[in-house]
């Protein structure tokens, strides 16, 4: 279970370099860092470690491409053609891409393939959206016409995490470039491999030089992520990652008053009422926390179950969790692979130990047998977990779930809202009135009723409370990546307010 040689992608370079202004380049100071594969925890490649000077070069290239290049001025249909070609290539290279992603991140190969397809869809979707985009117009007959100019903003800084890296990069890249901006992408340091494919795909699709720039490296002060956030020529930062990192980025962006979009952590409740379709609820909640290795921002990692069905739910849930197949990420039968990195494995395992003192362990609770090395964790289920427990309150981001009983709807709501997070909520009931009323009251950016988290790309994605700031997805992404300039045209007589003339009210109609 620990020999990963067969899965190793072929023909890798020695170093994953930065891609700036259409060229592969080393870090200016020559620095690199090790990247490991999560099955052996052995380094398999190095990546260039970007710092302030590398970000300066990437931002300068992106700024030049924005101001002097064709991209920001092209017709939406012309840009869409490039985006469709990107989507086709991502789809055609899906198997190769998924294999790389699975090797680098430990995600099960079948799920990595699904993520690659979703990445292609993101490009196709935003290509369609910009072509169909209409601009607002407002008329006051005989007096005024007003319309809105949507304009790309400039250089967008895109900072992404290590869970489903390629798909999450596509989620930002597609709308940012579709709307005519240029970008600097800083992928997560644990998983830089698949990001190295973008440059070739973009070149082949005909994206002009300098529109896409990639700087690898760490996030902290003095490194690539921090330098991008603090760069004065980057007016937009789209960030996905931990809530704590979001707070730091928020503070560091404040002096520049940057546009910010933050998709942050979660501890989402799945609420199962006693009138739910139990079979469907169990299947969905098992998938909801153990798919993507539990490294999923919208994981339903707290399951609240009504007392009447609680014992049966826990018994059946634990039995199903024990059947989830842990295995080599490259094996198509694997349902839970290896966690991304030993540091993250230690964190998840520490919560498993904490959980043993906070709840009743009914499945998992350690390393699966037969796995000598690698970041493998058994799908782990704790029942009878109280709301004060750390495993109820804190994001674990691994295959670990807390189950808690409740009696009334009011108690369920109180428990559901009893964390600092507010990303998603899943509600299982056959009572539509209850489902709608609960959705209204639950503190979550997204609610799924009797459903897994399948998401239509047109809908807004985002969290409330510590789970995020703003929304992306569909038109919300178009709003984030564009300025809206209002143009007012006088259609009547030119009528200027005359100061000192008491009966003239036109000055009152102007905004502050």
Contact 76, 131 (CB under 8 A): yes
Measured from the CB atom, the residue of 160 and 375 that comes closer to ligand NAD is 160
Q: What share of the chain is helix, strand, coil (3-state, %, to 5)?
A: 40, 20, 40
Distance CA 360, CA 385 (A): 7
Listed ranges 15-23, 86-94, 213-221, 365-373: which one lies at the site for ligand NAD (CB under 6 A) = 213-221
Give the DSSP letter of residue 449.
E
**226 contacts ligand NAD (rule: CB under 6 A):** yes
**Can you say whether the dihedral through the CA atoms of 63, 83, 485, 489 is positive or negative?**
positive
Determine the size of the site formed for ligand NAD (CB under 6 A). 31
Structure-token pair, residue 441: 């009251």
**384 contacts ligand NAD (rule: CB under 6 A):** no
Site string for ligand NAD, 140-159 (x = CB under 6 A): -------------------x
**Cα–Cα nearest to 179, from 233, 117, 240, 135:** 135
Contact 377, 399 (CB under 8 A): yes
Classify burial at 361, counting beta carbons within 10 Å of its beta carbon; exposed 0-12, middle 13-18, buried 19 or more: middle
**236 contacts ligand NAD (rule: CB under 6 A):** no
Contact 452, 496 (CB under 8 A): no
H-type helices in 93-195, by residue range? 94-105, 109-132, 165-178
Site string for ligand NAD, 272-311 (x = CB under 6 A): -------------------------x--------------
Catalytic-residue membership of 295: no
Measured from the CB atom, the residue of 89 and 467 that comes closer to ligand NAD is 467
**263 contacts ligand NAD (rule: CB under 6 A):** yes
Q: Which one among 48, 62, 214, 249 touches ligand NAD, defined by CB under 6 A?
A: 249
Measured from the CB atom, the residue of 251 and 507 that comes closer to ligand NAD is 251
Contact 444, 303 (CB under 8 A): no
Whole-number minimum distance, CB 442 to ligand NAD, in Å? 17
Given its phi and psi angles, is residue 274 left (phi above 0), alpha (psi -120 to 50 degrees) or beta? alpha
Catalytic-labelled residue, pool 263, 295, 335, 358 = 263
* Strand-pair category, 468-469 with 259-263: antiparallel
Give the DSSP letter of residue 207.
P
CA-to-CA separations, 250 to 157, 239, 243, in angstroms, rounded? 13, 10, 10
Q: Which one among 152, 327, 337, 468 touches ligand NAD, defined by CB under 6 A?
A: 468
User: Residue 173: how many CA atoms within 13 Å on its side-chain side?
Assistant: 31
Listed ranges 15-23, 33-41, 109-117, 161-169: which one lies at the site for ligand NAD (CB under 6 A) = 161-169
**180 contacts ligand NAD (rule: CB under 6 A):** no
Q: Which one among 37, 54, 104, 189 touches ligand NAD, defined by CB under 6 A?
A: 189
Site for ligand NAD in 76-95 (CB under 6 A): none
**245 contacts ligand NAD (rule: CB under 6 A):** yes
Catalytic-labelled residue, pool 189, 297, 335, 395 = 297
**Can you say whether the dihedral through the CA atoms of 184, 464, 389, 275 is positive or negative?**
negative
Catalytic-residue membership of 411: no
**394 contacts ligand NAD (rule: CB under 6 A):** no
Q: Which one among 24, 84, 147, 218 touches ligand NAD, defined by CB under 6 A?
A: 218
**423 contacts ligand NAD (rule: CB under 6 A):** yes
Whole-number minimum distance, CB 227 to ligand NAD, in Å? 8
Distance CA 461, CA 336 (A): 25
**193 contacts ligand NAD (rule: CB under 6 A):** no
Contact 59, 147 (CB under 8 A): no
Q: Which one among 166, 397, 428, 481 touches ligand NAD, defined by CB under 6 A?
A: 397
Listed ranges 69-77, 132-140, 243-251, 375-383: which one lies at the site for ligand NAD (CB under 6 A) = 243-251
**175 contacts ligand NAD (rule: CB under 6 A):** no
Distance CA 177, CA 152 (A): 9
Q: Which one among 229, 260, 272, 377 touches ligand NAD, defined by CB under 6 A?
A: 229
**62 contacts ligand NAD (rule: CB under 6 A):** no
Residues recognised as catalytic: 263, 297
Q: Give the residues lining the site for ligand NAD (CB under 6 A).
A: 159-163, 168, 186, 188-189, 218-220, 225-226, 229, 240-242, 245, 248-249, 263-266, 297, 395, 397, 423, 463, 468
């Amino acid at each position: 279970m620990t020999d990963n040689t067969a899965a190793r992608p072929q023909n890798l370079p020695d170093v994953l370099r930065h891609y700036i202004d259409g060229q592969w380049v080393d870090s200016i100071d020559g620095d690199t860092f090790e990247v490991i594969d999560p099955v052996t925890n052995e380094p398999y490649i190095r990546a260039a470690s970007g710092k302030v000077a590398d970000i300066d070069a990437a931002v300068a290239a992106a700024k030049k491409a924005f101001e002097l290049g064709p991209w920001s001025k092209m017709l939406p249909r012309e840009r869409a053609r490039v985006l469709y070609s990107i989507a086709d290539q991502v789809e055609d290279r899906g198997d190769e891409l998924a294999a790389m992603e699975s090797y680098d991140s430990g995600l099960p190969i079948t799920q990595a393939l699904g993520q690659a397809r979703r990445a292609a869809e993101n490009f196709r979707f935003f290509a369609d959206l910009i072509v169909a985009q209409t601009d607002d117009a407002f008329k006051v007959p005989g007096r005024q016409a007003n319309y809105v100019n949507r304009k790309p903003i400039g250089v967008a800084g895109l900072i992404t995490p290590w869970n489903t890296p390629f798909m999450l990069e596509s989620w930002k890249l597609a709308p940012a470039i579709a709307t005519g901006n240029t970008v600097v992408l800083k992928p997560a340091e644990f998983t830089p491999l698949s990001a190295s494919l973008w440059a070739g795909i973009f070149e082949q699709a005909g994206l002009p030089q300098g529109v896409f720039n990639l700087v690898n490296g760490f996030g902290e002060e003095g490194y690539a992520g921090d330098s991008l956030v603090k760069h004065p020529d980057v007016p937009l930062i789209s960030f996905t990652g931990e809530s704590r990192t979001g707070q730091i980025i928020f503070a560091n962006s404040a002096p520049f008053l940057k546009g910010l979009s933050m998709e942050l952590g979660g501890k989402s409740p799945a609420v199962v009422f006693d009138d739910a379709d139990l079979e469907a609820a169990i299947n969905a909640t098992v998938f909801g926390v153990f798919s993507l290795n539990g490294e999923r921002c919208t994981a339903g990692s707290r399951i609240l179950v009504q007392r009447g069905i609680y014992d049966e739910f826990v018994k059946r849930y634990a039995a199903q969790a024990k059947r989830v197949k842990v295995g080599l990420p490259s094996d198509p039968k694997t349902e839970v692979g290896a966690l991304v990195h030993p540091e993250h494995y230690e964190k998840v395992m520490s919560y498993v130990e904490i959980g043993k003192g906070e709840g009743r362990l009914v499945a998992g609770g350690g390393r699966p047998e037969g796995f000598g090395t690698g970041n493998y964790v058994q799908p782990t289920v704790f029942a009878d977990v109280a709301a004060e427990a750390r495993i109820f309150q804190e994001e674990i981001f691994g295959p670990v779930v807390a189950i808690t009983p409740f009696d009334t709807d009011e108690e369920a709501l109180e428990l559901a809202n009893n964390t600092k997070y507010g990303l998603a909520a899943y509600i299982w009931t056959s009572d539509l009135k209850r489902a709608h009323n609960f959705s209204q009251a639950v503190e979550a950016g997204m609610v799924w009723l009797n459903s897994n988290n399948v998401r239509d790309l047109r809908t807004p994605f985002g969290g409330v409370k510590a789970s995020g700031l703003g929304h992306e997805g569909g038109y919300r992404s178009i709003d984030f990546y564009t300025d809206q300039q209002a143009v007012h045209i006088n259609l009547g007589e030119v009528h200027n307010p005359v100061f000192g003339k008491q009966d003239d009210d036109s000055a009152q109609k102007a905004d502050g």
